[in-house]
Structure 1
Amino acid sequence: MQFRTLKDIVRLCEERSLTIAELMIEEQVKETGVSEPEVIQQMADYYQVMKEAVHRGITEDTVSRSGLTGGDARRVHDYMLSGETSSGSDATRAMAYALAVSEVNASMGRIIATPTAGSCGIIPGVFVSSQERFGWDDDHMVLGLFAAGAIGYVIANNSSISGAEGGCQAEVGSAIGMAAGAMVEMRNGTPEQAMHAVGLALKNTLGLICDPVAGLVEIPCIVRNGLGAVNALAAADMGLAGVRSAIPSDEVVDVMLQVGRSMPSEHRETARGGLAQTPTGRKITEELRRRRQENKN
């Protein structure tokens, strides 16, 4: 693609009077050789899967096969409807929807990795809740996904989106940055504001470890998706307000890579450190092993 950095995206958008989404669509067409309508339709199909996952997580039983998680999205959604939330209904709705998609993932449902399965709830949570709030049509949301994809492309190629390589900052952190930048664009912010939002979001997750209890993408992954959606909205608001990342966003991406490489293996998806090795984490792991052994016998 013509861009390798977030700065490149801003420059190209300004030089050619394009939005981030328009730039990404052009590049995707060139990269794949697929026509523009087909590229857009494929993304539209992805967005339908996201909306379906949100709906399922809010309305159906999504207890995971392990039995460890499920039902929290509905609890948070019901709490939002009470009108007594501390963070406000918009943030709480995004949180509930992000939890919903993550719980669908844990219950072996159909999701879109954004950018990974472990961070699958953040972008749908932010997008679907914002669509309901602002009354945007699906076409607008699809353009937002292209903007998020451009940001994710840069992060993936200059740092990492893998928890096994860079910790949870690489998965949940990247998703928060993608959602924040896309949200700025969807609300008519400039490409420069969007990229500052990305940097602000990523700075807030630097050093976040990947420590899945029993090696499953459930605890604490699902809760991190819910809280990540709220973080993305906050970073987007900072960007739209004119808050700038004092450290250029591309440099923040570089630091993500450095921090990920510095993490001990115990904190990179191995379940050998962090929450996975707390007394309760070990107890859960042993109980699941015992049940698996019984099922084999």
Structure 2
Amino acid sequence: MDNFHTIAELIRIASERQKPVHEIVLAVESEQKLRTREELIDEMRQNWKVMYESVKKGLKGGIRSVSGLTGGDAPKLYRHQLKGFLGQAGLSTAAFAVAASEVNASMGRIVACPTAGSCGIVPAVLTEAYEQGRAEEDIVMSLFTAAGIGMVIDENASIAGALGGCQAECGSAAGMAAAALTEIGGGTPEQIGHAVALAIKNLLGLACDPVAGLVEVPCVKRNGFAAVHAMLAADMALAGVKSVIPVDEVIDAMDRIGRAMPRDIKETAEGGLATTKTGLALQKKIYG
């Protein structure tokens, strides 16, 4: 199986072989890791189980981080889904993302997808798809598509907030989530590429500015926003909307922007929201 190093290559291989993107990623992973297709699918199914459980745990409430900065917002948002302006699907997805992120902040079990700081985004959109009646097997296979997108981003840019800001974490996760949703929705490989581009390019320049250096504020709620963002990117692509800038050029731009970002807004807690009056007061309260 030909390997891929760009999204364009992944799309080309999938299109030429007339196979879904997840099948290409699966074949490459099987060949490189010397593992069977069944082993890889079983492992991914376990990942999905952990993702889903983290969402459900967060929705139950009663969760509070050690610092006291976060916890309990997911149930509030979930209860609001029938009253809000965004609509049931959007608000429940945001609640799912906040739920998984609150579990992470309270030292619970999550899947870093692609990072712990962005762990709520992919699980949220897939939980929403699952709750809407999508088959679990389709959910599991779409995770390979998301993984393939993450692999390309990691190779050509970064998924780390310390290197590329939160655009590298929540931006990458949004692109991965949009790709998975687009495939579940019956999108073509080309539409998957457009969904990734649309998701990432509208989060370019996002700072990583955690208050007190903890992956809590603004990280938890940022996951909720990015999950809804990913849903919109997928729906745009499925509707036939295209990104004018090709997806690999968007990823390259994310890399260049990340490198150009000042150090104090790349996970150092030395700028942005972390150095607001309230942010500094919270830091002093937590650490003394």
The residue that corresponds to 1:226 in the other structure is: 224
Overall identity of the aligned pairs, in %: 49
Cα offset for 1:138? 1.5
Do the aligned partners of 2:182 and 2:237 also contact (CA within 8 Å) in 1?
yes
Structure 2: 5+ residue runs without aligned partners?
none
Partner amino acid, structure 2, of 1:162? A
CA distance in 2, matches of 1:79, 1:234: 20
- Decide which of 168, 171, 178 is 1:170's aligned counterpart: 168
The residue that corresponds to 1:76 in the other structure is: 77
The residue that corresponds to 2:265 in the other structure is: 267
The residue that corresponds to 1:201 in the other structure is: 199
Deviations 1:261-291 (A, max 9, x none): 000100000000000000000000000111x
Number of aligned residue pairs: give it: 287
CA distance in 2, matches of 1:39, 1:47: 12
Structure 1: 5+ residue runs without aligned partners?
291-297
Q: Does residue 106 in structure 1 map to residue 105 in structure 2?
A: yes
TM-score scaled by length of structure 1: 0.96
Do the aligned partners of 2:93 and 2:224 also contact (CA within 8 Å) in 1?
yes
The residue that corresponds to 2:122 in the other structure is: 123
- Output aligned runs, 1:232-243, within 5 Å: 232-243=230-241
Cα RMSD, aligned residues only? 0.7
Partner amino acid, structure 1, of 2:122? I
Deviations 1:149-186 (A, max 9, x none): 01111111000000000000000000000000111111
Cα offset for 1:55? 0.7
| DSSP 3-state at the match of 1:110 | coil
Q: Which moved more, 1:27-36 or 1:209-218?
A: 27-36
CA distance in 1, matches of 2:26, 2:237: 23
Deviations 1:223-271 (A, max 9, x none): 1100111000000011001111111110000000000000010000000
Partner amino acid, structure 1, of 2:251? V
Partner amino acid, structure 1, of 2:116? A
CA distance in 2, matches of 1:69, 1:161: 24
Partner amino acid, structure 1, of 2:121? I
CA distance in 2, matches of 1:28, 1:197: 23
Do the aligned partners of 2:61 and 2:74 also contact (CA within 8 Å) in 1?
no
Cα offset for 1:102? 0.1
